[in-house]
């Protein structure tokens, strides 16, 4: 393998696993710093890492720590990111240089985590749900530029993202259309329907279904050998924790109304909506979020093992 970039801090356990060709799974840290409330965020981070280890793979949670892009965090570093009093930036790929230049600490989004994982030589990344095309606020016209950087990162970075589809707060049909336009393969794992984070189905079909991870690994290897970039492997939230569509629609409408009234937009919108939804659903969304993150980490570890020796 290639040497690590000098500006990248790689945890010794992660570095050893990569050099030995053992399976490694990248995990994001924006979920810890901005996505979930304390202490659920720390619990989810530890459970996700435990799920990866339970499949004999090595977890590599990624963040920027005091200006140093870091692949693989200690338990103390996880807790420091999770603490509510911590001053932790939310970092997409465009924000990485700012955090490094200013010596700041930040949680990495899907886009930033994919980029740093690729720089370290990690090919599999587990998260809750990818970003996408945002819905128009009630009574307004959709902003054609309100699109997550996650989609563009998927178009250029050869990392497989294991997730529960796209976040339920998004315009899923437009998100899938953009993924198609960006040549990003979308695979449903044991499902014909594209999942929508808290919902088992978005009502949209997946372009490709696969029921075996060895088949998915073979497809990924071929995709990358052909010069392809990112891919999405989507599995639904555990059925017993999925929200009913009517309940979800009611809660989302109320959360979006609150966001509109308070003028919440941009990078602050998704964390705000997730917080409001947890309150409006009596923490059903919170429990579903933790469960799907852990399930995706487990599946990603299994996929990483299948990819060993293929890429």
Domains of the chain by range and CATH?
9-242+286-307 (3.40.1790.10)
* Active-site annotation holds for 167: yes
- The residue annotated as part of the active site, out of 9, 28, 80, 153, is 28
User: Any idea which residue has 């700041």 for tokens?
Assistant: 104
Instruction: Write down the pLDDT at residue 174.
Output: 96
Whole-angstrom CA distances from 94 to 149, 159, 212 are 9, 18, 36
pLDDT for 110: 98
Q: What share of the chain is helix, strand, coil (3-state, %, to 5)?
A: 50, 15, 35
Distance CA 73, CA 276 (A): 29
Could you read off the pLDDT of 61-118 as tens digits, one per residue?
999 999 999 999 999 999 999 999 999 999 999 999 999 999 999 999 999 999 999 9
**Greatest C-alpha distance within the chain:** 55
Of the residues 9, 80, 167, 306, which is catalytic? 167
Confidence of residue 212 (pLDDT cuts 50, 70, 90): very high
Reduce the secondary structure of 22-85 to three states and give it as a string.
CCEEEECCHHHHHHCCCCHHHHHHHHHHHHHHCCCCEEEEEEEECCEEEECCCHHHHHHHHCCC
Report yes or no: 259 and 269 within 8 Å, Cβ to Cβ: yes
Rounded to an integer, what distance in angstroms lies between the CA atom of residue 105 and that of residue 9?
13
For all residues of the chain together, what is the average pLDDT? 94
pLDDT at res. 145: 63
Predicted pLDDT of residue 274: 82
SS3 155: helix
* Span 117-141, pLDDT tens digits: 999 999 999 999 999 998 876 555 5
pLDDT for residue 103:
98
According to DSSP, residue 190 is labeled S
CA atoms within 13 A on the CB side of 141: 2
pLDDT on residue 225: 97
Q: What angle do CA 97, 103, 107 make, to 5 degrees?
A: 70
């Amino acid at each position: 393998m290639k040497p690590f970039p000098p500006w990248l801090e790689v945890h010794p356990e992660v570095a050893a696993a990569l050099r030995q060709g053992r399976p490694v799974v990248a995990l994001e840290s924006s979920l810890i710093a901005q996505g979930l409330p304390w202490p659920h965020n720390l619990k989810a981070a530890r459970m996700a890492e435990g799920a990866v280890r339970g499949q004999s793979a090595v977890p590599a949670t990624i963040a920027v720590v005091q200006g140093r892009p870091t692949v693989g965090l200690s338990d103390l570093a996880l807790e420091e990111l999770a603490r509510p009093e911590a001053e932790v930036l939310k970092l997409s790929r465009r924000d990485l240089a700012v955090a490094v230049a200013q010596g700041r600490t930040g949680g990495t989004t899907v886009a930033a985590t994919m980029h740093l994982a690729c720089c370290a030589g990690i090919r599999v990344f587990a998260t809750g749900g990818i970003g996408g095309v945002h819905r128009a606020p009630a009574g307004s016209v959709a902003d054609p530029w309100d699109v997550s950087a996650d989609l563009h990162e998927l178009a250029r970075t050869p990392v497989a993202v294991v997730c529960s589809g796209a976040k339920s707060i998004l315009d899923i049909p437009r998100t899938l259309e953009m993924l198609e336009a960006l040549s990003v393969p979308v695979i449903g794992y044991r499902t014909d329907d594209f999942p929508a984070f808290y919902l088992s189905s978005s009502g949209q079909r997946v372009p490709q279904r696969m029921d075996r991870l060895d088949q998915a690994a073979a497809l990924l290897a071929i995709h990358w050998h052909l010069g392809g970039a990112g891919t999405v492997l989507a599995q639904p939230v555990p059925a017993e924790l999925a929200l009913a569509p009517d309940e979800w629609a009611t809660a989302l409408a109320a959360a979006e109304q609150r966001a509109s009234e308070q003028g919440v937009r941009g990078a602050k919108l998704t964390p705000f909506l997730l917080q409001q939804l947890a309150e409006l659903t009596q923490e059903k969304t919170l429990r579903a979020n933790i469960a799907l993150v852990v399930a995706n980490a487990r599946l990603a570890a299994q996929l990483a093992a299948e990819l060993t020796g293929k890429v």
